[in-house]
A and B are shown apart, each in its own frame.
Chain A
Amino acid sequence: AQSVTQPDIHITVSEGASLELRCNYSYGATPYLFWYVQSPGQGLQLLLKYFSGDTLVQGIKGFEAEFKRSQSSFNLRKPSVHWSDAAEYFCAVGAGNNDMRFGAGTRLTVKP
């Protein structure tokens, strides 16, 4: 069955530091992969998605993610974090039917 694991429940980084959020997936075929961000009390905003092609995907707000089939990973990165990036981040996989499977999320705290 398709599933997504986000190993880090909570990450704290200093403003200006680099960021990497981990995501591992389990899926039998080539996956569709996504990263969403959720600010407190808000809905989910799509940061980026991978369907095929170039394994390094650029998204909004300066985020990027790299698909590594050998590691079943789709980690999210940002070279320099801003205080406004503090939020909950969800990795998701398109499950091949009609739904997406989400990870449990990683909460990002940004220290001044």
Chain B
Amino acid sequence: NAGVMQNPRHLVRRRGQEARLRCSPMKGHSHVYWYRQLPEEGLKFMVYLQKENIIDESGMPKERFSAEFPKEGPSILRIQQVVRGDSAAYFCASSPRPGDYGYTFGSGTRLTVV
């Protein structure tokens, strides 16, 4: 019973490139959450998605960031035209139902912008 799978584990992008981060939730989980962890900080909520729907994107930067969770396949967090300040660890979590706190986190994608 695989946990939340994120890939890649590490991603290096030059300034101005696009970054695509993938998250496959646990089997049977249809709710996905993305968090960002900046160095020396805790996790900050970005977006909450269900299959084919964005439920809450109140933590997403207004520009360059987008997320999707299609009917088939993993959830994708997309960052366009990356800047140095986007360097962070991005974690995905999943749950079987809304408001089911204490969700399971993946191992994260560490994005480095050079």
Main secondary structure of the interface of A (DSSP, over half): strand
Q: Which of under 10, 10 to 19, 20 to 34, or 35 or more describes the interface residues of A? A: 20 to 34
Enumerate chain B residues within 8 angstroms of A90, measured Cβ to Cβ: 42-43
Within 8 A of A (CB), among B29-51: 33, 35, 40-45, 48
In the complex, A17 has a CB within 8 A of chain B: no
Q: A43-B105, A43-B108 are in contact. Are A99 and B45 (CB under 8 A)?
A: yes
Q: Inter-chain contact count A-B, CB under 8 Å?
A: 59
Bound together, the chains give a CA A90 to CA B105 distance in angstroms of 13
Bound together, the chains give a CA A18 to CA B42 distance in angstroms of 24
Enumerate chain B residues within 8 angstroms of A100, measured Cβ to Cβ: 43, 45, 101
A97 and B106 form a contact (CB under 8 A): no
A103 and B42 form a contact (CB under 8 A): yes
Q: Which of under 10, 10 to 19, 20 to 34, or 35 or more describes the interface residues of B? A: 20 to 34
A98 and B102 form a contact (CB under 8 A): no
B98 and A98 form a contact (CB under 8 A): yes
- Give the 9 A-B residue pairs with the shortest CB-CB distance, closest first: A99-B45, A102-B42, A94-B101, A43-B107, A98-B48, A43-B105, A44-B105, A102-B43, A49-B102
Using CB atoms and an 8 Å cutoff, list the residues of chain B in contact with chain A.
4, 6, 33, 35, 40-45, 48, 55-56, 58-59, 91, 98-99, 101-102, 104-108, 110
5 A–B pairs (Cβ distance < 8 Å), ordered by A: A41-B110, A46-B102, A94-B101, A98-B45, A99-B59
